[in-house]
């Protein structure tokens, strides 16, 4: 058997959103900065960028530069909490349209090297490099990874990190070990030294609740999880998940790289900087609602889909979340039609509290080019938020 019976890579862009912002503002390189909040025009002089200490609101960090991470802030952390740790860090608003543009660029560049690509989100992909590394050598895997890094950098100006291993589970673990701009190649015989010392929660699939449960049981590292009796794990976590925990700790994963899959739905949502009142803030809510539908329609058009089911999501100021769906006789994709259908869903919600989050979804998708032209409804007039 070669060291790598399969050469599976996980490519992860380094601090993706922050790195894209540094292309826009190269004068910020080397400074602690976080991305979060709504898009706005930023100053050219770093001294004039807003600082975390001046932020008031409930936004969260989308990502942070490595200089900011060294101060203890991380993605998903509230901006107000981050301000306590890094008050002088710069605050940059998010620009997701630009991030999607660079995402498409780096994936297209990678596909020029190998079409065996599984898209896992805006900033990460899996690759099956086995055909490019037929002898399964570590040296061959590293050479391909270096080529991929350079290709991504040439196409985008951005850096990425790669983990190459016999399977997806290990590859994802490894891509994070030597960030930024790192390459880690791990074979089965490297698992005791490279993988087992890591915290058990680093395994993709062990969420916060499972990690907390493992900690309570005295299992903190992947090695300790690997040493646990598999029957005992099944008693503690159930047969299926307990068996998976045992296999994952031993680096076992037979999942293929899935190069094509049809999405079940597409959605857009936004969390407001302040809770909006259904009547007092009706005009602003209406504008935000319409904008979400326009963005979702653009996503559908770009990906070539239409859908029959339109869904609405609302989260109120007490964190109660409601959803409503409407299934139409024919598929739609135009912004106005989505807006009208989502508005019908909205009429079935009792609007007595301020609104914290608003989301729109289109499901039951079909390829736009597979739908006869006469089945596509005409655009309809959008109404105000009701």
Q: What is the DSSP letter of 53?
A: G
User: Within 10 A of 70 (CB to CB), how many other CB atoms are there?
Assistant: 11
Are 42 and 200 within 8 A, CB to CB? Answer: no
Ordered alpha helix ranges (H), 72-219: 79-85, 96-111, 138-156, 168-175, 208-216
Reply yes or no on whether 124 is catalytic. yes
Locus of tokens 């740790």: 85
Structure tokens at 312: 């609405």
* Closest to 287 in 3D by CA, of 162, 182, 173, 384: 384
Is residue 86 left, alpha or beta, with left meaning phi > 0 and alpha meaning psi from -120 to 50?
beta
- CA 385/CA 245 separation, integer angstroms: 47
CA distances from 241 to 36, 216, 236, 252, 305 (A): 35, 17, 9, 14, 35
Q: Which of 21, 67, 124, 334 is catalytic?
A: 124
Q: Please calculate the CA angle 303-286-59 and round it to the nearest 5 degrees.
A: 75
CA distances from 23 to 6, 118, 146, 186, 247 (A): 35, 26, 22, 32, 42
CA distances from 315 to 276, 358, 362 (A): 11, 7, 18
Are 116 and 259 within 8 A, CB to CB? Answer: yes
Is residue 364 left, alpha or beta, with left meaning phi > 0 and alpha meaning psi from -120 to 50?
left
> What are the catalytic residues?
124
């Amino acid at each position: 058997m070669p060291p790598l019976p399969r050469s599976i890579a996980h490519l992860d862009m380094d601090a993706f959103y922050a790195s894209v912002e540094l292309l826009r503002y190269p004068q910020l390189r080397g400074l602690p900065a976080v991305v979060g909040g709504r898009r706005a025009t930023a100053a050219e002089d770093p001294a004039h960028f807003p600082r975390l200490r001046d932020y008031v609101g409930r936004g969260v960090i989308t990502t942070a530069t490595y200089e900011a991470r060294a101060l203890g802030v991380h993605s998903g952390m509230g901006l107000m909490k981050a301000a306590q740790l890094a008050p002088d860090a710069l605050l940059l608003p998010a620009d997701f349209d630009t991030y999607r543009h660079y995402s498409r660029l780096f994936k297209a560049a990678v596909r020029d090297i190998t079409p065996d690509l599984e898209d896992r989100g805006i900033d990460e992909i899996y690759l099956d490099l086995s055909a490019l590394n037929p002898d399964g050598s570590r040296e061959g895997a590293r050479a391909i990874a270096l080529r991929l890094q350079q290709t991504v950098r040439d196409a985008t100006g951005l850096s990425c990190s790669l983990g190459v291993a016999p399977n997806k589970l290990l590859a994802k673990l490894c891509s994070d070990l030597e960030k930024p701009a790192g390459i880690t190649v791990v074979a089965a015989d490297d698992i005791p030294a490279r993988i087992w010392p890591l915290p058990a929660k680093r395994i993709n699939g062990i969420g916060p609740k499972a990690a907390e449960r493992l900690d309570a049981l005295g299992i903190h590292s992947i090695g300790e999880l690997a040493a646990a009796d598999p029957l005992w794990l099944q008693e503690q976590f159930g047969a299926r998940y307990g068996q998976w925990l045992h296999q994952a700790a031993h680096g076992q994963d037979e999942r293929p790289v899935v190069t094509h899959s049809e999405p079940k739905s597409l959605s857009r949502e936004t969390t407001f900087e302040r809770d909006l009142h259904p009547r007092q803030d009706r005009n602003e809510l209406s504008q935000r609602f319409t904008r979400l539908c326009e963005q979702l329609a653009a996503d559908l058009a770009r990906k070539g889909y239409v859908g029959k089911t339109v869904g609405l999501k609302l989260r109120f100021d007490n964190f109660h979340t409601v959803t409503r769906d409407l299934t139409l006789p024919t598929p739609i994709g135009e912004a106005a039609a989505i807006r009208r259908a989502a508005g019908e869903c909205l009429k079935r919600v009792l609007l007595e509290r301020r609104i914290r989050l608003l989301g729109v979804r289109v499901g039951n998708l079909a390829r736009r080019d597979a739908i006869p032209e006469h089945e596509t409804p005409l655009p309809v007039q959008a109404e105000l938020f009701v």
